[in-house]
Amino acid sequence: MRKKMKSGIIISAAALLLAALFGYTEFFYGPIKKWNYKRDVLQYLHSKYDEPMKVTKVVYYWDSALPISAVAYPADKPDLSFTVMPDKSSPSGYRDGYAPELWKFQASADLQPILSDIDEEYLTQTELAFACCQVSEYDYDAIQGTVPDYRDTELPFELTIRINRAMKATDITTMHHYLSALQTKEKPELEQIMFVFSPNHSSAQIQYRFPGTSLGDIEQTDLEKFNESRLPAKDIATITGASVQWDGENEQAVFTLNNTVLKVNSWGYEALLNGEIIESPLDAYIGGENELLVPVRLIEQAFDTSISLEDV
């Protein structure tokens, strides 16, 4: 028994000693690894691109799956930062995000004059990103010297305008003005444009999604066709005057208004209107506040009504 206890104490002590030694090594050799990595990254960037680069910082986490990375930027564009990480699958041993960040920078610059007379609130809340998923399939290893202009890549973008307030009566006009400005041919290729409104007091998801390829065909009166808003079931009941009950056994919200009964499942596109299966234009689902979010267009279709999102 004593031998086992003594053996256990020795093993535990050895484990603690190894852990302390490992921690000591990482603590004191971490800065050396960072310095070496910064040097190697600068050499990699110098050999890959025909422009001077600078490394602002190196991040090292010994307990991470990707323990080390660097943040760099082109010397003439200090606001354009990107990450450089090790990549064993790449011939260079690295992968970096310079090209995508440069393309977004170029596309944003081209959008600025196009949107110059757009409402300032909308303009400051505009986010430009790549549409899924061609940008991830691009052959970045083939880039050597000069990064091609974003127009030559033919990669599509998407615009998202996030407004942190409830929707107002003037927003329909402002959205149409925004879309009209984008009808010019001299712009980045846009796959979609999405407007998102986030009321402070509600978990409602108010959003309009427009295809970037047919902006010239969209009139202001057409905007509601692109309404992808979803409201909590209780908010819909308040706005429409319907009653709503939760059917826990079937996981459905049951709306009743006059002689119409609509049963909305807790997920998916299928609903029941007076006992008949109908297909919702959008799916319903449980949102982050554990509330069932129901498509506005489904309610308008079922109850032959119109819901003003300004009431949310």
| pLDDT above 80 (res 64) | no
| pLDDT above 90 (res 24) | no
Phi, psi of 112 (to 5 degrees): -55, -50
Cα separation of 144 and 71, whole Å?
20
What per-residue confidence (pLDDT) applies to 32?
Answer: 84
Element (H, E) at 8: helix 2-48
The alpha carbon dihedral of 27, 31, 36, 37 has a sign of positive
Number of neighbouring beta carbons within 10 Å of residue 286: 12
- Which residue's entry shows tokens 């800065």? 31
Split at pLDDT 50, 70, 90, the class of 149 is: very high
Mean pLDDT on 285-312 = 91
Q: For 66-125, where are the E strands, in sequence order?
A: 68-74, 82-86, 94-96
Split at pLDDT 50, 70, 90, the class of 284 is: very high
Residue 267 DSSP SS3: coil
Look up the pTM and report it. Answer: 0.83
Number of neighbouring beta carbons within 10 Å of residue 52: 11
- The CA-based diameter of the chain, rounded to the nearest angstrom, is 87
Split at pLDDT 50, 70, 90, the class of 260 is: very high
